Amino acid sequence: MIQISDLSKVYPDGTQALNGVTLQVRQGEQLVLLGHNGCGKSTLMKCLTGLEKPSSGKILLDQHDIHQLRGHKLRKVRQGVGCVFQQMNLVLDVSVLQNVLYGAMAKHGFWRVLNLTASRTLREQALWALEQVGLAELAARRTDMLSGGQQQRVAIARMLMQQAKIVFADEPVASLDPKAGREVMELLQRIVVEHGMTLICVLHQLDLAMQYGHRLVGMKKGKIVFDDTPDNLPAETFQELYHA
């Protein structure tokens, strides 16, 4: 489903963020990326979403080379990719329902997802997505009135509305308190499992990674240093990853 081959990224200032990363992720798999700050996790996520262009290598999403696509074809592939960001990246000046409706914008266009002009079906779908994340009663509220945890739930509802097959979550709980973080991870995992989505998630919390990842991938200096199931990875592996 996701095929990353020999991916490298060198920034204009000479920083080598990724160095020959090769990874294959099967459909329905939940992969967690681990590593300290600056090891290349976020760059890898940006390359996966097409927001950053790699210096060399290839990324295939559902057989499509995302960095070779342009215009409509690129947008079409991106429609199937949901993103959950550390800072939620919601439009704060509009309602919660409107943010969820934006999840369908790539498919339907701006005017058909505008709360004022959207069809009843789409509005009901958006409300259903909000019900899934437990925020239906806040549909009319302005997004900037919500807490961090609630905003992250809205971002997940937007991803649901998008009907994504692949989910990239870049430190989705980093700006939340431990309780809210665990709730968000619980919700994300439930939705990913229920809808048969593939998840690549960057996490800093080892306990969360062990609990929610089928597969843990460790990164250091732009390279993959381990790739295995949580049960097969001894505690020293993580100590080496973070302290060495």
Residue 43 contacts other proteins per CB under 8 A: no
Residue 145 contacts other proteins per CB under 8 A: no
Longest dimension (CA), the chain: 56
DSSP calls for 163-183: T-SEEEEESTTTTS-HHHHHH
Hey, which residues between 71 and 100 contact other proteins (CB under 8 A)?
Answer: 74-83, 85, 87, 89-94
Residue closer to other proteins, measured from CB, 80 or 230: 80
Residue closer to other proteins, measured from CB, 20 or 50: 50
Residue 193 contacts other proteins per CB under 8 A: no
- Residue 173 Cβ vs other proteins, minimum distance, rounded to whole Å: 17
The full length of the chain comes to 244
> Contact 122/101 with Cβ under 8 angstroms?
yes
Alpha-carbon torsion, ordered 235, 237, 242, 243, to 10 deg: 90
Would you say the C-alpha torsion 38, 61, 130, 30 has a positive or negative sign?
A: negative
Residue 188 contacts other proteins per CB under 8 A: no
Q: Which residues are near other proteins by CB under 8 A?
A: 49-51, 74-83, 85, 87, 89-94, 102-103, 105-106, 109-110, 113, 155, 158, 162, 164, 168
